[in-house]
Amino acid sequence: MIEIGRGSVNKMSARLDATRVEYAFRLGDAQIPVNPLIGKTVRLEYLGAIHCSHCGRRTKTSFSQGYCYPCMQKLAQCDVCIMSPEKCHHEHGTCRDPSWGEQFCMTDHVVYLANSSGVKVGITRATQLPTRWLDQGASQALPIVRVATRQQSGFVEDLFRSQVADRTNWRALLKGDAPSVDLTAIRQQLFESCAEGLSALQARFGLQAIQLLNDVAPIEIKYPVEAYPTKIVSFNLDKDPIAEGTLLGIKGQYLIFDTGVINIRKYTAYQLAVHQ
């Protein structure tokens, strides 16, 4: 086998080409297309070092997907409000980094429905679409509410979460294509059943801030997967530094080998070599 790249790994870049996803490994500054590797034997090798995505310091363990412990405790992007946006504390003057918050949280967000392993509700910065959906392996997606801040997206998601899941079942995701669902109909059901809560949020933040997207059509996304495994085994590079097999496909941030699956995002900031 020959080495085709090495460096600090980041989540794969994912680009929608018509309806099909094109992936590339990101190793340091280099990008290596992954789609052409499908059907071939590929080996990922963890080289034994993790360097924090923020400060570059070597860390034994990766925290919050790619950070050293001090950065995890200090950075705004590692705060609890990133996972639970309704807990945003920017207005109290306690944001870990108010200017980061201005740039990444006090900006338009979208609440969406996606079908990855069944219907789920999610949120993302408006500029992250459709990347967010591709990273999650969604086969259908539909933006349903546009809001002015990350915190507001959390409040809206909270309303919908009582009726739609907010997690992806990654095992189901890797076992096959999710059956198609009518996201438009689910949107209308949610708007009706959550009408009171939505009106309350509009009264609190303004009609301009909380906009229901009634006229958007869902998009369909196809992943480059030649075959799905019948039994799902995960590689764990912390226990065994080599993941190798015939690459069957790519979905979300997962590589699907005939020998097991691996979530590349989980290994952000690991030093990896890729062989073909």
Q: Of these, 34, 50, 52, 174, which contacts Zn ion (CB under 5 A)?
A: 52
CA distance 230 to 275: 26
The least distance separating Zn ion from the CB of residue 265, rounded to whole angstroms, comes to: 18
* Closest distance to Zn ion from the beta carbon of 54 (Å): 5
Q: Which span sits near Zn ion by CB under 5 A: 67-75, 113-121, 180-188, 261-269? A: 67-75
Q: Would the CA dihedral through 231, 237, 242, 244 be positive or negative?
A: positive
Q: Which is nearer to Zn ion, 62 or 153 (CB)?
A: 62
Is residue 75 within the footprint of Zn ion (CB under 5 A)?
no
Residue type, 10: N
Instruction: Tell whether residue 78 is a contact of Zn ion (CB under 5 A).
Output: no
Q: Is 55 in the site for Zn ion (CB under 5 A)?
A: yes
List 12, 37, 42, 68, residue binding Zn ion (CB under 5 A)? 68
CB 136 within 8 A of CB 114: yes
CB of 63 to Zn ion, least distance (A): 9
49 binds Zn ion (CB under 5 A): no
Q: DSSP character for 241?
A: S
Stretch that binds Zn ion, among 34-42, 53-61, 121-129, 232-240 (CB under 5 A): 53-61
- Sign of the Cα torsion 85, 118, 14, 251 reads positive
Amino acid (one-letter) located at 33: P
Residue 30 neighbours by CB under 8 Å, 6+ apart: 5, 7
* Per rule CB under 5 A, count of chain residues that contact Zn ion: 6
Residue 54 interacting with Zn ion (CB under 5 A): yes
Q: What angle do CA 14, 17, 20 make, to 5 degrees?
A: 80
Verify cis geometry, omega within 30 degrees of 0, for the bond prior to 130: yes
Report, in Å, the least distance between residue 67 CB and Zn ion.
5
User: How large is the C-alpha radius of gyration of the chain?
Assistant: 20
Establish if 72 lies at the interface with Zn ion (CB under 5 A): no
What residues make contact with Zn ion under the rule CB under 5 A? 52, 54-55, 57, 68, 71
